[in-house]
Homo-oligomer: A and B are copies of this chain.
Amino acid sequence: MHTETEENYLKAIYHLSAKRAEPVNTSSIAGSLSTTSASVTDMLKKLAEKNLIEYERYRGVRITRKGEKIAINIVRKHRLWEVFLTQTLKFRWDEVHSMAEELEHVSSDELIKRLEEYLGFPRFDPHGDPIPDLTGKISAPSSLCLASGECEKRYTLTGVNDHSVSFLQYLERTGLKPGITVRILEIQEYDHSMLIELKNKIKLSISNDVAKNILVKNYGE
């Protein structure tokens, strides 16, 4: 197989590719892996040699089908372990990322198949991100964000755009967990902040920045 490091590079490149159509550049990879551009360059040569990426000096990188398959499998493992950690071991959703980061590399495909079955074939992880199936197919995640919601309507939280621990902990503290339902009471004209009501009648004001990072579906859908 591949080394853990190679897997981490492929995963980073895969995630960065998803955000933009252009090739991924060296420094953004270095940024997301907290390493230097020089180290990235070295690794890119190695990955290109193995046909896992297409790489042209000074021109950035695209992931190949072969590389993408590996990356998606890592993402699949990561997200299934996240479900296990929250659902079975009762961790909070803001605690599981770093543990899943370790577990994603160690597990045989057979182990993951059994885990998926045990968990009941979940389609989304605790942050609302879709879990690729065995063949690499990925359901469309919710694309509706709370910021584009309308007054007086109800929405069910399904996920987040910002996966940072600080954002997740903010949501956790305010009670905005995936699965809960909110109603929009008011939207302020000047800063687009909104007043929302939770199930337990608690009212909460959230900034537009926050609302843009919360994914929802229409209540009852």
Residues of A that sit less than 8 Å from B by CB: 85, 88-91, 99, 102-103, 105-108, 111, 114-115, 118
Complex partner residue of A115 from B89, B111, B114, CB under 8 angstroms: B89
Complex partner residue of A89 from B102, B105, B114, CB under 8 angstroms: B114
Cα A103 to Cα B84 with chains together (Å): 15
Q: How far is the CB of A103 from chain B (nearest CB, A)?
A: 6
When distances are taken between beta carbons in the complex, the residues of chain B under 8 Å from A99 are 107-108, 111
When distances are taken between beta carbons in the complex, the residues of chain B under 8 Å from A88 are 118
- B106 near A102 with CB under 8 A, answer yes
- Say whether chain A's binding surface is mostly helix, strand, loop, or mixed: helix
- A91 near B105 with CB under 8 A, answer no
Complex partner residue of A118 from B89, B102, B105, B115, CB under 8 angstroms: B89
The copy count of this chain in the complex is 2
Cα A118 to Cα B115 with chains together (Å): 15
Most chain B C-beta atoms within 10 Å of own C-beta, residue among A85, A111, A118: A111
Q: How far is the CB of A126 from chain B (nearest CB, A)?
A: 15
When distances are taken between beta carbons in the complex, the residues of chain B under 8 Å from A85 are 111
Q: How far is the CB of A115 from chain B (nearest CB, A)?
A: 6
Cα A115 to Cα B90 with chains together (Å): 10
Cα A39 to Cα B105 with chains together (Å): 26
Cα A116 to Cα B111 with chains together (Å): 19
When distances are taken between beta carbons in the complex, the residues of chain B under 8 Å from A89 are 111, 114-115, 118
> Can you list 13 residue pairs at the A/B interface with Cβ under 8 Å?
A85-B111, A88-B118, A89-B114, A89-B115, A89-B118, A90-B114, A99-B111, A102-B106, A102-B107, A103-B103, A103-B107, A105-B106, A106-B106
